[in-house]
Amino acid sequence: MATKYERYPTVSISKTVSVYPKIIHPQKVLNLSNLDRQCPTLMYLVFFYDNPNLLSCDGYKSCNDLSLNSVFNSLKSGLEETLSMWYPAAGRLSLNPNDGKLNLWCNNKGAVLVEATSQVKISDLGDLTQYNEFYEKLVFKPDFDGNDFPRMPLVVGQVTKFGCGGYSIGIGTSHSLFDGPSAYSFLSAWASNSAINTKQTSHDHHQLLITPVHDRATLLTLGNYNSQSGVNNSLLISKIDHVITAANNSNRNNQYDVPQMKARGSVGAAAIDHLLQLLIQASTNGGNIASSSNIFNQKYCSFVFKTFHLSSSLIENLKREVFKDGGFSCSSFEVLAALLWKARTKAMGLRKEAMVCLQFAVDTRNKVAPPLPAGFSGNAYVLASVALAAGELERIRHKAIVEKIRQAKDSVNNDYVKSYMEGVQGPRQASLPPLRELTLVSDWTRMPFHNINFFSSRATHVSPLVPPIPQIAYFMQNPNDDRAVDVRIGLLPDNLDAFCSYFLAAIAQ
């Protein structure tokens, strides 16, 4: 059945070029950490900018007649300059033939930049904060079969000029190359190096002063840590595969093998312990765990993405309400994560005795010993985890949930990161199915992507596209209020109305 977005005219690509570093570096292999290898796919953002020719001349805004060709050439020259310092971004992922692990081959193969046009006006897209399938046409998606890593560029960009004179810049960066903060620094450097800006702001100069550090030595040392707990952590990924396989078979031996794994010991990282327990729970209770990629893709295509706008005043009221009886204060993230977890779990209609889990990303740059250097450009996030019975989660107050979230966050230290990295160790990553019992949250509020000035003003809006894990909830800074939060979450249609009802009721308390 045709979607409502198919009424839009197609996006026409007029130019596709490879972009190489201005300064060529000697080729070398950059060893990746286990955190880099978790998700070797492109993560996409689409930046929207109003017609730059309508902006007034106020000292830094351009009033020149910018053509698509001049914008494209400016982005290209800026990317050439940026790749000179961020040279791994011009490389390719490569499988080590000895252990099957991914590393980064810094071979100067370059990025890809595309020029495109559309007759659509940005105003035709409606509320830009609500995900729109048309956004998928505003990024360049290279052909990739999941295995041919040497052919896959790590950075791709597409500049599209709309019928109204506005622009979008859709950018994909490999998650094996960058996490959120390092992607933010890379894109800020690219914007600062592009000649579209007639005058750089102090923020841009600050980004230029940050020298990226590409070496993963500290995390590689942690990843080589040998546990004395008796658990063979290198087999945890295969254990997850075994749980999934056992859950999808009906023979008695496999049903017996699954619960045995729980008794083999804990790895010390709660996120991985809890994930294994959720998979075991789903298998032993007759759950249908979809290890087949075809089944997963069917579910993936069904997800609906909804954004909720939470003003700064509303968030402050929520924090006061949660702690009206006194005690410590909490962050916006903690209170919103508590409300979302409770609302989503209730919307799933789970058994009260079922184990449910909230997992959220924690930046470890200052949590490992020694701390990662300023400008570290790789992945430095691990997942923290809270687990409760569904009935208990529904019963306890939000204050108690916030306290558990804070405890989980505080538990992430050097030893936790060591255990986590062991837990995700392996020649490849397991393909995890979507679990109704698992709520995932990623906090982007400290990465205001809309402030990245590819033109002479900040973006009207920046939208992430569908992520590899579609049910994840993003907390994003609102472009018009830096203390407000936009919450975007992916849900299956059967759960959408219930979640909206419970979540809106929670924030209206």
The catalytic site residues sit at: 175
Half-sphere exposure of 138 (CA within 13 A, CB side): 31
* Cα–Cα distance for residue pair 184/491, rounded to 1 Å: 27
Residues near 61 by Cβ (< 8 Å), separated by ≥ 6?
52, 55, 198, 456, 457
* Cα–Cα distance for residue pair 124/40, rounded to 1 Å: 34
* Cα–Cα distance for residue pair 226/49, rounded to 1 Å: 50
Q: Tokens representing 283?
A: 């298998």
Edge-first strand listing for the sheet containing 304-310? 304-310, 481-491, 473-478, 438-443, 355-363, 381-389
Say if CB 14 and CB 118 are below 8 A apart: no
Tell me the one-letter amino acid at 289: I
Q: Tokens representing 341?
A: 């977890």
Cis omega (within 30 of 0) on the bond before 370? Answer: yes
Neighbours of 78 (CB within 10 A): 21
Its sign, for the CA torsion 7, 12, 17, 21, is negative
Phi then psi dihedrals of residue 305, to 5 deg:
-110, 125
Task: Report the b/e string of 347-370 with b at 16+ CB within 10 A.
Answer: bbebeeebbbbbbbbbbbbebbee
**3-state helix/strand/coil string of 26-53:** CCEEECCCCCHHHCCCEEEEEEEECCHH
Say if CB 155 and CB 86 are below 8 A apart: no
* CA angle at 444 for the pair 467 and 49, rounded to the nearest 5°: 80
